[in-house]
Structure 1
């Protein structure tokens, strides 16, 4: 892990805590497990101001290039649940992939529990799309 802990911008951290607290009622066990893991990571996360946020860290609206051991290479944009649209490669922060990537940096390898089992994801690129998130 490039920065030793996940890094989250202060406003996005507050929004993420709200989203996670509302998502605890999901019935799907994979989502609940992903949310529980994210809650644990939030406890250890480094929370920073906007001006201190590294450019290569995955956050809301980031476009993230990933590679998996199964030769899957894709780019997704991490968005709030209401903006999710898989046809446009926009995945919700609450999707297992969104939860897995958030707060990690380009070059990190992330292991996460997905519906298909535990998988490793390599973050090969992070592009910031300038768009303020509202809480």
Structure 2
């Protein structure tokens, strides 16, 4: 992990904690395990002011290119649950993939338990843009 711990912006940290508390989790055991791990990682996260945030951190509305070691690569946008749109590759923060990437940095390798089993991912690219929420991301 590039920075040693997750890096989160203060307002997003509060927002994500609130979303997790409201979500009530899920009935799916593997997805529940993913959220438990995410909550544990949030406990040790470095929480920074907006002006101190590195540009290579996966945040809400970040456009992220991620690859697995099974020749799979995809560009997605991490969004709030109400903004999710799988056809536009907008993934909710309250999905295993959203939770797995949030707070990590470009070039980080992430090992996460997904509903299909554990996967190792590499974050290839992170783009920050306040207008990201209106972009339509095409699948690679």
Q: Which residue number corresponds to residue 95 of structure 1?
A: 95
Q: Provide, for residues 42-78 of structure 1, a one-character-per-residue CA deviation record: whole Å limited to 9, x for no partner.
A: 1000000000000000000000001101111110000
Q: Which residue number corresponds to residue 54 of structure 2?
A: 54
CA distance in 2: counterparts of 1:62 and 1:95, whole angstroms: 15
Asked if 1:22 corresponds to 2:31, the answer is no
**Runs of 4+ in structure 1 over 2 Å off:** none
The Cα shift of 1:130 comes to: 1.0
Q: Provide, for residues 76-123 of structure 1, a one-character-per-residue CA deviation record: whole Å limited to 9, x for no partner.
A: 000000000110000000111000000000000000000110000100
Compared with structure 1, are the counterparts of its residues 2 and 25 closer, same or farther at alpha carbon in structure 2 (3 Å cutoff)? closer
Q: Which residue number corresponds to residue 76 of structure 1?
A: 76
- Count of residues in Structure 1 that have an aligned counterpart in Structure 2: 133
Ranges in structure 1 where 5+ consecutive residues have no aligned partner: none
Partners of 1:10 and 1:48 within 8 A in 2: yes
Normalising by the residue count of structure 2, what TM-score does the alignment of the two structures yield?
0.91
Q: Which residue number corresponds to residue 7 of structure 1?
A: 7
